[in-house]
Chains A and B, each alone.
Chain A
Amino acid sequence: MKRVLGWYAALLYAFLHLPLLILIAFSFNSSRFSVWEGFSLNWYRAMWTNTQMAEAAWNSVIIAASSSLLATAIGTAAAYGMWKRKAPLLQVSLYLTLVTPEIVTGIALLALFQWIFRWMPFRLGLGTVILAHVAFSIAYVAIVLTARLRTMDPALEEAALDLGASEWTAFRRVTLPLLAPAMGAAALLALVVSFDDYVITSMVAGVDSETLPMVIYAMARRGVNPVLNAVSSVMVVFFGSLILLSEKVRAR
């Protein structure tokens, strides 16, 4: 039976990975049809010179970096607070954030912002997107950090207090350095989740704060465009390597 399973597994892995591999392969196709007509870097050149895409990519980077940093800080603090003593309401609330469908989170935030804009002179833009991303990323960070804290010996902080440290110093000099690797992993997770988000972002982004996924979506909607293959390949390779690298660092 193991052999049958083995073949089955191979098939399933092919199912999982082939579509992407084919996508990447055809980004090097010189024609825009699904027939291979020769190797070419045309589409990469087109992608490179596409200003709309470049701006969107830059927006995505800014949003991902800021929201990841904020979410990591807030999420780590929350996980730490909950580790010291249970905070059931917060825990449930964070859990709910994860299970709420993205479309609902999106419209709820849109409703919030529209309501706020009645009293305050703000518009939908990078700021609202960053806020939205922070909102849903905190739960991811909290999960990663909570898992890590579960293996943390509480005696370490007690020892620090015993030796004369204040609660803050005990956290800063003992717990925080030990949490650093987990924080890195969480930040990376938040980064990727933010960069890839389409649904929520599309609801709360303004006219001049397009993100890369929004551009990709619009192009995909219109039909198949090999430039998309090129963008996809770049993103897959970039984030794929980032993840593999972080795994290597963690294993060390």
Chain B
Amino acid sequence: MLELQDLSKVFPGHVAVQNVSLTLLPGEFFSLVGPSGCGKTTTLRMVAGFEHPTTGRILLNGELLNGRKPQERNVSTVFQNYALFPHLTVSENVAFGLRRHGIREPGPRVAEALRAVRLTGKEQRMPAQLSGGEKQRVALARSLVLKPDVLLLDEPLAALDPQLRRQVRAELKLLQREAGITFLFVTHDQEEALSLSDRIGVMNEGKLEQVARPEEAYRCPASRFVAGFLGEVNWIAGAAIRPESTRLSTLACGQSVACRVIHTTFLGSVVRVEVECGDGFASADLTPHQPEFSAGAMAYLYWDPTDELPVPA
């Protein structure tokens, strides 16, 4: 169990992390998500031991990690660019950590790890000969083979192309389930965080704004920032509505807001209708079966009050 207690990191002229407190449950897939510069990577590096906290404590299974060198912590990191040792083969890369821990015959465990990431047969390849996805799997195997208490992943999917990313996401989730190891996953992609995690922590400018299950954070965001970061929000008449909950009608009724249609875009699964209403803009994601709206036409925007996001002002 990993505990971060009131963690802060101050660089000269810049506070990277402010009073972050967090508890990871054993075996959970936890994502730290936020825009670039929000402090998520710095937090990760503090857990790994590459940065020293200015204040605060890090506890792993009750033991204090502060002051311990990276090699003395039972956490392992998967780096953004994988950091595979270019002069060693795949199996030597995976065996590296085992050898450092005094295991003289790493063979069987290496084979097992490679099997888990489905890279059996590529033992003698050099990193330069591997594809992006394969490199990532070697990095995973190299860290997992040590059976760390927590696996730290620093935007591991960022370097992959979008197609591959979706596929690897699913494999990653499966891997985590099978290994049963706690994952601390850092990403700036909210879709990734929402789809993969048991819980997410949304960070902004060094502060942790919300820690919750994905669905909960999405439907009940704790702040305007979280609401806007995890998805799109329409701010209408003092309420916050998601585009998928926003409805349009050609008739005025009850609480509806009068708008003018600016643009419609066919997105495949939905039709996005962008409207201008009074003081602001909004988008409604309509299923293609709903009536069509043409640019310039009048429309009336309404929503189900239970779909409102309870965002504090």
Contact = CB atoms under 8 A, between A and B. Distances in A.
Interface stretch (A97-105, A158-166, A211-219): A158-166
B86 A159 contact: no
B69 A164 contact: no
A178 B83 CA distance: 13
Given A158-B50, A159-B77, A160-B96, A165 B71 contact: yes
A155 B44 CA distance: 14
B87 A178 contact: yes
Contacts of A158: 50, 70, 77, 79, 83
B232 to A, nearest CB: 35
B197 interface: no
B218 interface: no
B97 interface: yes
Given A153-B81, A155-B81, A169-B100, A162 B48 contact: yes
A162 B70 contact: yes
Contacts of B79: 155, 158-159
A164 B81 contact: no
Interface in B63-109: 69-71, 76-77, 79-81, 83, 85-87, 96-97, 100-101
B71 A166 contact: yes
A177 interface: yes
A22 to B, nearest CB: 46
Given A153-B81, A158-B50, 10 more contacts: A158-B77, A158-B79, A158-B83, A159-B85, A161-B50, A162-B76, A163-B96, A163-B142, A164-B146, A178-B87
Interface string A168-179: 010001100110
A153 B69 CA distance: 20
Contacts of A173: 96
Contacts of A155: 79-81, 83
B147 to A, nearest CB: 12
A10 interface: no
Contact of A164 (B71, B85, B87): B71
Contacts of B87: 177-178
A166 B71 CA distance: 7
A155 B155 CA distance: 14
Interface SS, B side:
loop
A156 interface: yes
A160 B97 CA distance: 8
B97 A164 contact: yes
Contacts of B50: 158, 161
The size class of the interface chain A forms with chain B is 10 to 19
Given A159-B83, A174-B85, A165 B100 contact: yes
15 contacts: A153-B81, A153-B83, A155-B81, A156-B83, A156-B85, A159-B85, A161-B50, A161-B69, A162-B71, A162-B76, A163-B71, A163-B146, A165-B96, A177-B87, A178-B87
B163 to A, nearest CB: 25
Contacts of B71: 161-166
Contacts of A178: 86-87
Contacts of B76: 162-163
Interface in B35-68: 48-50
A162 B77 CA distance: 7
Given A158-B50, A158-B70, A159-B77, A164 B100 contact: yes
A-B pairs with the 5 shortest C-beta distances?
Answer: A163-B97, A164-B100, A159-B83, A155-B83, A161-B70
Nearest to B94: A163
Nearest to B79: A155
B137 to A, nearest CB: 15
Nearest to B142: A163
A153 B85 CA distance: 10
A170 to B, nearest CB: 8
A149 to B, nearest CB: 15
Nearest to A154: B83
Interface string A121-135: 000000000000000
